[in-house]
Amino acid sequence: MIRILIVEDHPAMVEGLRKILSESDEITTLDVATNASKCMAHVKGYTYDVILLDIMLPGSNGLDLCSEIIKVNPEAKILALSTYNQRYYIETMLQNGAKGYLLKNNSKEVILHAIKTVHAGNTFLCEEVKRILRQHSDHSLALSRREIEVLRLIADGLTNKEIADKLFISPLTVDSHRKNLIIKLGAKNTASLIKIAMSEGFVSV
């Protein structure tokens, strides 16, 4: 029996998952957590076979929560389940230790198959996610830590000078980062840079 923890804050979604999971006699939904702290409380008290983890949670996000869970239990088999198909989310989730990434528009069959795959110790990515990861895997989309930091400050409306003051570096350095960001994300200027950054999930709404 595969024992599941569902981490999800939409009641209707929880009902649906419960229903779908109950149709398989290999799977049982043991617990449901509707936010990060409840999730951690469950994870600290019990070892689940698979954790179904949503990305958007009230007051926190699944990306950080994933790291937290892995810190407590490095063996945890986390399957991300999200509406969001942003590349950054997918990559960060996998970097943070998730064993799979599943979009919510998948059928019940795919959902069940994903859970079984992850439980068996393998990685599961749904088709659309695979496609997204293939896309521009050539044109270097990998942003450095500092670049992401600068990017978010730009999105908040700070100028090169203001960012420089905040990070204790030269405005010229910030300008270099900005130019590199524009090139890396294939933007035309700062405006489209922000649009792309948000589409990819680097900057959250």
Partner DNA sequence: TAAACAATCCACGAAAAGGGGGATTTCATA
Partner DNA sequence: TATGAAATCCCCCTTTTCGTGGATTGTTTA
Residues of the shown chain interacting with a copy of itself in the complex, contacts defined by CB under 8 A:
9-17, 19-20, 56, 58, 83, 86, 104-108, 111, 154-159, 187-195, 198-199, 203, 205
Interior/surface letters 177-188, b for 16+ CB within 10 angstroms, e for the rest: bbeebbebbebe
Bridge partners for 81 per DSSP: 102
Min dist. Cβ of residue 93 to DNA (A): 19
Q: Which of 42, 87, 119, 178 binds DNA (CB under 7 A)?
A: 178
Q: Give a three-class secondary structure readout of 152-196.
A: HHHHCCCCHHHHHHHHCCCHHHHHHHHHHHHHHCCCCCHHHHHHH
Min dist. Cβ of residue 156 to DNA (A): 11
Angle at 167 between CA 164 and CA 172, to 5 degrees: 30
Min dist. Cβ of residue 50 to DNA (A): 29
Q: Which of 161, 165, 166, 186 binds DNA (CB under 7 A)?
A: 161
Neighbour count for residue 52 (Cβ, 10 Å)? 25
Q: Please identify, among the stretches 7-15, 72-80, 123-131, 168-176, the one whose residues bind DNA according to the rule CB under 7 A.
A: 168-176
Ramachandran angles phi, psi of 151, nearest 5°: -55, -45
Residue 156: name its binding partner from DNA, a copy of itself, none (Cβ under 5 to 8 Å by kind). Answer: a copy of itself
CB-nearer residue toward a copy of itself: 45 or 157: 157
Contact 73, 43 (CB under 8 A): yes
CB-nearer residue toward DNA: 47 or 144: 144
Bridge partners for 101 per DSSP: 80, 125
Residue 12: name its binding partner from a copy of itself, DNA, none (Cβ under 5 to 8 Å by kind). Answer: a copy of itself
Q: Please identify, among the stretches 53-61, 77-85, 129-137, 158-166, the one whose residues bind DNA according to the rule CB under 7 A.
A: 158-166
Beta strand 50-53 pairing with 56-57: unpaired
Q: Any contact of residue 91 with DNA (CB under 7 A)?
A: no
CB-nearer residue toward DNA: 37 or 192: 192
